[in-house]
Amino acid sequence: MGGASVSAPGRVDTRVEMGGVTLRNPVLTASGTFGYGAEFAPFFDLRRIGGLVAKSLTLEPRSGNPPARIAETPSGMLNAIGLENVGVDAFVAEKLPALPEGVPVIASVFETEVDRYAEVCKRLTGVPRVSGLELNASCPHVKSGGIEFGQNARLLATLVRAARRASSLPLWVKLSPNVTDVAEMARVCEGEGADAVSLINTLQALDVDLATRRPVLHNVLGGLSGPAIRPVALRMVWQAARAVAIPICGIGGIVTGEDAVKFLLCGARAVQVGTANYLNPLAALEVAQGIERWAGEHGFPRLADLVGRLEASREGSS
């Protein structure tokens, strides 16, 4: 039970150093689930979470897929947005200035070719408000780009190498869960100089609308997210954490502080809240508060002491 010495949440040291970025607390918001940030300003002070990862950016603006783009599934949702975004230049010119000072912003990058990826990384480098980059090498619903990079070790290596050369910013790589061996992909990223890996992106999935006998999504295939995928995400984070030394950002189905603590125990140094932001615009803040409360109540004055502390010896684990 871990001596439940109830100490005031305020007494917990929540700071984490995450692949070259220092965060007030380990809770970020996941790319594509938090808009460009300003949309949440009516609900809470963004400076109270660790940081935000913005919607993935491409070189030019992209307009995304026709409807239907989303659908509900058991304890989850499917999406095929098609990576609609304002493009890297508009992000820098219009979106970043709209954010309050003091919120670390990680810019997520997506493109269809290595050199275009590199170009987006270049344009984001040196921009005052950008604290780091997250390469989205794992978009499961766009034919070109993402899926090949994230699912093929050689391609992934090429991509990370190019991005590493293109930018001096802290470089995170977001991994696809649609692979046989996620640990191998994490090793590839570490080998090419990535500062951290984020996982997981959505699981490639499909659902059918029986009324029309068509896929529910116009794009046919989509990405599954939400609580349904949490156990798969925890498994992959645990496997990646045992494979690499660089820090890991855990993502997948996090709704509460307790969910997030599970990711820390499996080896994630920070987490990202995704789908939960839609159901509850205060989700990220409540997750951050929930982690702090849990740590305080269970006698962990420093969150860093929770990272990777899963007791995974077979003996007596039952």
Ligand X SMILES: Cc1cc2nc3c(=O)[nH]c(=O)nc-3n(C[C@H](O)[C@H](O)[C@H](O)COP(=O)(O)O)c2cc1C
Q: Which residues bind another protein (CB under 8 A)?
A: 32-35, 39-40, 42-43, 55, 63-77, 79, 81, 84, 226-228, 255-256, 275, 277-282, 318
Asked whether position 79 contacts ligand X by CB under 6 A, the answer is yes
Q: How many CB atoms lie within 10 A of CB 313?
A: 7
Instruction: Please report how close the Cβ of residue 228 comes to another protein at its closest, in angstroms.
Output: 8
Using CB under 6 A, which residues numbered 141 to 170 contact ligand X? none
Q: Which stretch binds ligand X (CB under 6 A): 27-35, 36-44, 206-214, 240-248?
A: 27-35
**Structure tokens given for 153:** 């070790």
Read off the tokens for 287. 């997750």
Q: Under 8 Å CB-to-CB from 313, ≥6 apart: which residues?
A: none
Angle, nearest 10°, between helix axes 153-166 and 182-191? Answer: 30
- Does position 121 interact with ligand X (CB under 6 A)? The reply is no
297-316 residues near its own copies, rule: CB under 8 A: 309-312, 314
The reply on whether position 144 binds its own copies by CB under 8 A is: no
Question: Of residues 139, 189, 249, 266, which has the active-site annotation?
Answer: 139
254 binding ligand X? (CB under 6 A)? yes
Please, which residues have CB within 8 angstroms of residue 15's CB and are 6 or more apart in sequence? 22, 23, 24, 25
274 binds ligand X (CB under 6 A): yes
Q: Residues in contact with its own copies, total (CB under 8 A)?
A: 58
Residue 139 is among the residues annotated as catalytic for this protein: yes
> Footprint of ligand X on this chain (CB under 6 A)?
30-33, 55-56, 79, 81, 83, 108, 136, 174, 201-202, 225-226, 229, 251-254, 273-276
Annotated catalytic residues are 139
